Structure 1
Amino acid sequence: MALTSIGHRTTVPAARTVPELLAWRRTVHPDRVAIEVHGVARLTFADWEAGATSVTSALGQAGLRHGDRVGLVFGARDWTEFAVAYCGVLRAGAVAVPLSDRLAAGQLRYALEHCAARIVLHGNDTPPPAAPVGVPVRPLADLLAGVNKHDVQLPASVDDGDTAAADLPPVRPGDLAQILYTSGTTGRPKGVAASHANLTIGAPSHPRRLALAHSERFLHAFAIGTNAGQTMLFNALTAKPTALTLPRFTPVRFARLIESAGVGTVFVVPSMAIELLDSGALSDRELTDVHLIGSTAAPLAPAVATRLAATFPEAAIVNYYTSTEAAPAQTVMIFDPARRDAVGRAVDGQLRIADADGNPLPVGSIGDVWLRAPHSRAYYQDEAANRATFRNGWVRMGDIGRLDDAGYLYLSDRHEDVIKSGAFKISSLEVEAALHEHPYVAEAAVVGVPHPVLGSAVAAVVVPRPDTPPAELALPALRGFLAGRLADYQLPARVLLLDQLPRNPGGKVLKRQLTSQFDN
C-alpha cells in the first residue's frame, strides 16, 4: 500500500549565504533595478550591495557582534531601505528580525524582548517604533550618517558566487539569518528562525536560470514583516524581473500598475484578488501581458480563480500553499477546473499526510499535513513548540487533508482555531487575552466568521460582568479599547453578548456553536 510521502529527492546543492547571493547579482547585473517603490525610490544591485556594506560598517562601529539580533521596522514606502538594512545586517553576521509597522506597541515590544534585540532600525518614513528600555531605536539614515566612510570597503568582484571581501565578518550557511514573528495558533507570537542555507535553497547560480524570466517586472503589495513579504524580497534578489510595489494598496492604483510596461507577473492574496475583481478597477485595461497570477497566504477559492482566469486570459493562475515555519517547502497549483479544490503538489521539498504520531498514511487517507525542506526552520527559544510542530525536518502544518494518486493535496479542515483574514493569520487566543483585560469582560471567545473579501473576519463573543453599562461593550467602544493592544487587522468586526459560553464536559468552549450564532 502506497504511503503519502512525496516530493523531490534531488541532490541538495551546496549551501550559500544571503550576502553571497547579493554579491553575485551585483557582479552579473550591477545596473539592473532590483526593487522599485512606485513614485518613491529605485534600487539597483550595485546600490543594494554598496548600501548593505555601509550598514555593515555602521553596525560594526556601533558595537554589533556576530549573532546579535536587529529589529527592522519598515513601512510600505521603505522597501528599498529595508532591503539595504536587511542585507547589511546579514553581512555583519547578525540576525535580521523584520517586523510589521502595523503591529501594536505591545506586540512590537514583546517580539523585541523575546529575541533580545540589540538595536532597532526603522525607515525614514516610518515612525519610531516602541522598543524595550535600553534598546536604541534609530532611523536607517541616521545610522548611516555616522559611518566613517574610510572604513567602508566594497567587496571585490566575485566569481562563482563567493564573496572576496576579507574585511567582512565571516558568515556561514548554517548561521542564523532571520527571525519572523507569527501569531500562529497560540496566545503569544512565535519567532520562526531560518538559517542562510534555508533562505538560499533553490537560488540560481547561473544568470540564464533566473526565475520569472517571462517578466521585466513583477508586482506585489505585501507587507514587510510577513512571510509573503520575505518571499518577495528573495524574488527581488534571485529572479530576473524587478520587484515593483507601491506605497499604499488600493485597487485602482494596483490595477494601474498591472497595466504598466513590463509587468508579466502579479502576486496577490485572495482578499486582494477579490477586491480587484469586485472594484471594477480592472475593467477596460490591457491585461494580456500578464502571464502569471500568483496567490498565497490562503487557498484560492475556485470561484475566484475562475474569475481571475477570465480576467487575465493569457495568465496561469497559481496557488501557493506553505507557512512561515515550512518555507521554502510548498505546494504549487496551476488552477485546473478538473481539480478545482486541489492546492497543489510538492515543490522545493516533500509533502506527506500522517497520523497523530507523525506516521505516513496511505494515499486517500485524511490526516495531518506535513511539509519538509532541506535546512528546516525552527521556533526561536521555544523548545516545547518545536516538539509539537517540527520532527526530523518535517513541519506539522496544522491543517487536515489528503493526497490523491497523482500527489495533489486537498485540505479538508483545520486543527486549530486560527482565523485567516486576508494575508494574516490571527490567533484567537491572543485576541481573547486582550479582551480579558477589559474591566467589564467576564469571559470571551473569538471565532472567525465568513467575510466576502477577507475570507474570514474576527468575531468576539463576550460574557459581560454584572451591571455592565451596555455602551461599554458595544462594538465601537470595544474596538477602541483594543486598538492599543492589537494590530488593526486583529480587531473584532462583530461582537455578540451572551450570558454564558457553551462548553463541553471538559470545560472547553464549543466554538463551532458560537460561529453558527453569527449566521443570522
Structure 2
Amino acid sequence: MPPTTPAPRTVPDLLDWRASLHPEQVAVEVHGVATLTFADWAAESSRLAAALRARGLRQGDRVGLLFGARDWTRFAVAYCGVLRAGGVAVPLSDRLAAGQLEYALTHCAATAVLHGDDTPAPPVPAGLPVWTCADLLTETAREHVDAPTARPGDLAQILYTSGTTGRPKGVAASHANLTVGAPQHPRRLALAHSRRFLHAFAIGTNAGQTMLLNALTAKAGALTLPRFTPLRFARLIEAPGTGTVFVVPSIAVELLDSGALRGRDTSGVQLIGSTAAPLAPAVAARLAEAFPAATIVNYYTSTEAAPAQTTMIYDPARRDAVGRPVGGQLMVADADGNPLPAGTTGDVWLRAPFTRAYYRDEAANRATFRDGWVRMGDVGRLDADGYLYLTDRHQDVIKTGAFKVSTLEVEAALHEHPLVAEAAVVGIPHPVLGSAVAAAVVLRPPAGPDDLTLPVVRGFLADRLADYQLPARLLVLDRLPHNEGGKVLKRQLTDLFQT
C-alpha cells in the first residue's frame, strides 16, 4: 500500500507539540536582544490569544503584525497568539511606506494591528486599534477567556507579495498549507545536524515566514540579528553550533565581497541554503569555496506556491539547473496548461497539497491557480532527469529584433567577470529592435566606474553569449534596488536607464 499522508495540523497544535517535547529549548533568538523557549512561546501566545478574545477578536478576523528585525521573538508570540485566538495573521515589514501599509491593512480589512513594544505606533487607517504585545500580555486577569479551536482548513495567514511587477497581492494560506510535511515524530525533526540555524530574512516576506515555521519543525533553533551587517553575520557563522545558514543571493554576495569571512573557521557549517531569487552559478561556486564543508542548496519557490519547491544541490555539471521538486509536483506546460516533453520550453508550474490563493482577487486566482497547480510566472524546461532550468520571468524576457533574450543567462555571464559583485539585466526601448539589452552592475571594492566600461563588458561576454545578447547599455551603481525579500526591483532599474 502507498504511504498515507499524515492528517494536517494547525500551527498552535505544532507549537504545543514542540513545547511538550522541548520546553526549555530556545526556539528563536535575536542575538544580543532576546531569546524565546518553546515553553514561553506557548504560554505567552496563549495569554495573548486570551487578551485578543477579550478585546473582541472574532473567528477569522485579520490582524496586522508590524515588527522589525529586533522583534523576532515578540513577532513569534504575536503570530501564534493571533492564530490561537482564531484570527488570521498578516505579517508586515516595519520598513513599508505609509501608503503601502495602509493599502495592505485596508485590502485585508484588518481589525487591529500589533507592533513591537519599543517602536512608535505605526500610521494606520483611522479607527484601527493599535496594540503592543506588552499591552496584551499584561492582561493576565483575562486568561479565562475561551478561544475557538482553529481547524486545519481555516485561513491562518495572509502574506503580501513583494510587488516587483505591480501592486502587491495578499496570498492566503491555511493552517494545513503551513504545517503540511511537518514532522510527526521527534526523530524526524529537520536540520538535525545543527544546534541553530542562522538567517537575516525580513519579517513580512515568504523567506521570513519559512524561518518561523522552521523554528517550529527543526531540531535547530532560529538565530537572527537585530541588524544585518556582514561582520556581525560572519561572527555568528563561526560561532559554535551554527550548522546551517540561510541567505538570499544579495546577502551572499555582500558577505563574500566584504572580507568578513577572511580567516574565519567555517568548517562547522554543513548547509548553506539560498532562496528568494536566482543564485548565479558563479556565486554558488564562491559559496562552495568559502564553505568547503557545506552543501550548497538553492531553493526555488514563490509566495504563492509554498511549500512546493525545487531544490538544487550545487553541481558544477548542472550549473544552471534549479533542481527537482520536493514536497510537491513540477510541470512545464504550454499556454493551455498541457504538460510538455523534456527539453521543450514552456510555463513552469508547481503543485503542493493545500494550495494557497490570492485573498479577494478572483481574477488573479483564475490566472495563477488551476486544479491545485500554481503558475510560477517563469519560463523554463525540464531535462531528461527531471531537473528544471529557468529561462526567465515572463515579463523579463527581452524581445530584441527577431530574438528573445533571457536576462538570467546574461546576468549569470556577467557574474563571471572578476569585478562584478551583482548584476541585473532589463530591456529598454529601442527605435528599431523594439527593445535592447541593458545591464546594471555593482562592482567589487575597490573597483570604480572607470574600471568597467561597456566595451570591456561586451568584449568579456563575446565568448560567452551570442551577439544579440550583449548589453547595449551599462550602468555602474553603488547598489541594486532590492525589496525586503532580496529580489531586484527591475522596474526601478528600467526607470534609471530612461533618465
Letter in 2 for 1:451: V
Q: Which residue of 2 aligns with 1:96?
A: 89
1:327 matched to 2:306: yes
Shift in Å, 1:246: 0.4
Q: Which residue of 2 aligns with 1:53?
A: 46
Letter in 2 for 1:314: A
Letter in 1 for 2:290: T
Partner of 1:264: helix, strand, or coil? strand
Mapped partners of 1:133, 1:119: distance in 2: 11
Q: Which residue of 1 aligns with 2:339?
A: 360
Stretch moving more, 126-135 or 301-310: 126-135
The verdict on how the C-alpha distance between 1:34 and 1:144 changes in structure 2, with shifts beyond 3 A counting, is same
Between the two proteins, the alignment pairs up a number of residues equal to 424
Specify which of 450, 470, 476 is matched with residue 440 of structure 2.
450
Partner of 1:142: helix, strand, or coil? helix
Specify which of 350, 356, 374 is matched with residue 371 of structure 1.
350
Partner of 2:292: helix, strand, or coil? coil
1:110 matched to 2:103: yes
- Contact preservation (8 Å) 1:179, 1:192: yes
Specify which of 155, 158, 176 is matched with residue 155 of structure 2.
176
Q: Which residue of 2 aligns with 1:504?
A: none
TM-score, normalised to structure 2, is 0.81
Mapped partners of 2:373, 2:439: distance in 1: 31
Post-superposition Cα deviations, 1:99-129, rounded to whole Å, max 9, x if no partner, equal: 0111110000000000000000001133322
Post-superposition Cα deviations, 1:271-299, rounded to whole Å, max 9, x if no partner, equal: 10001111100000011010000000112
Q: Which residue of 2 aligns with 1:465?
A: none
Mapped partners of 1:398, 1:249: distance in 2: 31
Mapped partners of 2:72, 2:124: distance in 1: 21
Shift in Å, 1:414: 1.5
1:80 matched to 2:70: no
Mapped partners of 1:488, 1:335: distance in 2: 21
- Contact preservation (8 Å) 2:29, 2:223: yes
TM-score, normalised to structure 1, is 0.78
Letter in 1 for 2:442: P
Mapped partners of 2:108, 2:439: distance in 1: 33
Q: Which residue of 1 aligns with 2:168?
A: 189
- Contact preservation (8 Å) 1:73, 1:126: no
- Contact preservation (8 Å) 2:29, 2:73: yes
1:381 matched to 2:382: no
Mapped partners of 1:226, 1:495: distance in 2: 26
Specify which of 121, 129, 144 is matched with residue 151 of structure 1.
144
Mapped partners of 1:378, 1:67: distance in 2: 16
Specify which of 340, 345, 369 is matched with residue 390 of structure 1.
369
The verdict on how the C-alpha distance between 1:406 and 1:279 changes in structure 2, with shifts beyond 3 A counting, is same
Equivalences for 1:203-282 in 2 at 5 Å? 203-282=182-261
Specify which of 337, 359, 363 is matched with residue 316 of structure 2.
337
- Contact preservation (8 Å) 1:91, 1:171: yes
Mapped partners of 1:227, 1:176: distance in 2: 16
Partner of 2:73: helix, strand, or coil? helix
Mapped partners of 1:268, 1:73: distance in 2: 22
Shift in Å, 1:170: 1.4
Mapped partners of 1:35, 1:229: distance in 2: 13
- Contact preservation (8 Å) 1:85, 1:140: yes
Mapped partners of 1:410, 1:169: distance in 2: 46
Q: Which residue of 2 aligns with 1:156?
A: none
- Contact preservation (8 Å) 2:324, 2:387: yes
Unpaired segments ≥5 residues, structure 2: 398-406, 412-423, 427-434, 445-485
Post-superposition Cα deviations, 1:148-170, rounded to whole Å, max 9, x if no partner, equal: 25527xxxxxxxxxxxxxx4411
- Contact preservation (8 Å) 1:75, 1:125: no
Letter in 2 for 1:213: A
Q: Which residue of 1 aligns with 2:459?
A: none
Mapped partners of 1:184, 1:391: distance in 2: 22
Partner of 1:288: helix, strand, or coil? coil
Shift in Å, 1:145: 2.5
Mapped partners of 2:267, 2:378: distance in 1: 36
- Contact preservation (8 Å) 2:243, 2:270: yes
Partner of 1:332: helix, strand, or coil? strand
The verdict on how the C-alpha distance between 1:317 and 1:496 changes in structure 2, with shifts beyond 3 A counting, is closer
Q: Which residue of 2 aligns with 1:401?
A: 380
Mapped partners of 1:276, 1:314: distance in 2: 17
Shift in Å, 1:12: 2.5
Mapped partners of 1:453, 1:393: distance in 2: 43
- Contact preservation (8 Å) 2:53, 2:147: no
Mapped partners of 1:269, 1:404: distance in 2: 26
Greater relative contact order (CA < 8 Å, ≥ 6 in sequence)? 1
Partner of 1:313: helix, strand, or coil? coil
Identity, in percent, stands at 72
Specify which of 1, 5, 9 is matched with residue 16 of structure 1.
9
CA RMSD of the aligned region, Å? 2.6
Mapped partners of 1:222, 1:449: distance in 2: 27
Post-superposition Cα deviations, 1:292-317, rounded to whole Å, max 9, x if no partner, equal: 00000112111111111111110000
Shift in Å, 1:261: 1.2
Post-superposition Cα deviations, 1:81-106, rounded to whole Å, max 9, x if no partner, equal: 00000000001111000001111100
The verdict on how the C-alpha distance between 1:497 and 1:414 changes in structure 2, with shifts beyond 3 A counting, is closer
- Contact preservation (8 Å) 1:323, 1:397: yes
Mapped partners of 1:448, 1:189: distance in 2: 26
Unpaired segments ≥5 residues, structure 1: 1-8, 153-166, 429-444, 455-486, 499-520
The verdict on how the C-alpha distance between 1:453 and 1:255 changes in structure 2, with shifts beyond 3 A counting, is farther
